[in-house]
């Protein structure tokens, strides 16, 4: 079945440092890929997405490129802020599934220190 | 525009009891999905409803069930609660739920504790 693997946290960075959170996937079909973010006490919010190979999703300074050859979708940001502290989830949705079934990675907690 | 509303926010039950959680989607959204979030298993898909019909189901025992009403509001029920059912239950809504390009809007969740 489909699966998503992302690096374990927590990841602790100083403000303005560069961020990379690794994400790899296994899927039988042609999935769309997503990054969701969860702030303390809240539900998940879509951060960015990519629907086909070589697509780059971007939002709020975060970027991720859909790499079919390495089955990866790593999240990057050039300069993190304290407000970026949250848990980040990589997820996929397989086009073979009707409806909105997402398969999530285990989540990576990011802590940014001033 | 109001977001996805889940009630109650917190719930404490004892083993063997049953529980019903409620989710009101964003107005106009017809698809409602449910996810279970635990520290050990992460986020796992429970089921999805669209126009009052269950369209997808995850790998959970029959104790977990749900339904959707004509106004798209959804409820999920867990019977004969076990300690391992303690989790944050998240609901997500979207307009049609078809295909993978549609954005899901998540509620803040119901934190269920089973004692």
CB contact under 8 A, B43 and A101: no
C-alpha distances in Å from residue B30, one per residue of A46, B51, B72: 19, 6, 6
Q: Does B50 touch chain A (CB under 8 A)?
A: yes
Q: Does B94 touch chain A (CB under 8 A)?
A: yes
pLDDT tens per residue, range B18-34: 999 999 999 999 999 99
Q: Does B1 touch chain A (CB under 8 A)?
A: no
pLDDT tens per residue, range A35-46: 999 998 888 999
Give the model's pLDDT for residue B2: 77
Q: How far apart are CA B11 and CA B41, in angstroms?
A: 20
Beta strand A19-21 pairing with A75-77: antiparallel
pLDDT at A89 over 60: yes
Residue B115 tokens, joined = 């004692």
């Amino acid at each position: 079945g489909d699966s998503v693997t992302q690096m374990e946290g927590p990841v602790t960075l100083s403000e303005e440092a560069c961020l990379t959170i690794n994400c790899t996937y296994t899927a039988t079909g042609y999935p769309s890929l997503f990054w969701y973010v969860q702030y303390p006490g809240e539900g998940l919010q879509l951060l960015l997405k990519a629907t086909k190979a070589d697509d780059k999703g971007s939002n709020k300074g975060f970027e991720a490129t859909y790499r079919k050859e390495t089955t990866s979708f790593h999240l990057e940001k050039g300069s993190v802020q304290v407000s970026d502290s949250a848990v980040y989830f990589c997820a996929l949705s397989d086009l073979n599934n009707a409806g909105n079934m997402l398969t999530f990675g285990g989540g990576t907690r990011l802590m940014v220190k001033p | 525009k109001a977001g996805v509303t889940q009630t109650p926010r917190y719930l404490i039950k004892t083993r063997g009891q049953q529980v019903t959680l409620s989710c009101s989607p964003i107005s106009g959204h017809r698809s409602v999905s449910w996810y279970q979030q635990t520290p050990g298993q992460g986020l796992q898909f429970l089921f999805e409803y669209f126009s009052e019909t269950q369209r997808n189901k995850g790998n959970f025992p029959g104790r977990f069930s749900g339904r959707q009403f004509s106004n798209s509001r959804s409820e999920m029920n867990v019977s004969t609660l076990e300690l391992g059912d303690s989790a944050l239950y998240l609901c997500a809504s979207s307009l049609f739920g078809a295909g993978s390009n549609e954005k899901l809007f998540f509620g803040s969740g119901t934190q269920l504790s089973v004692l």
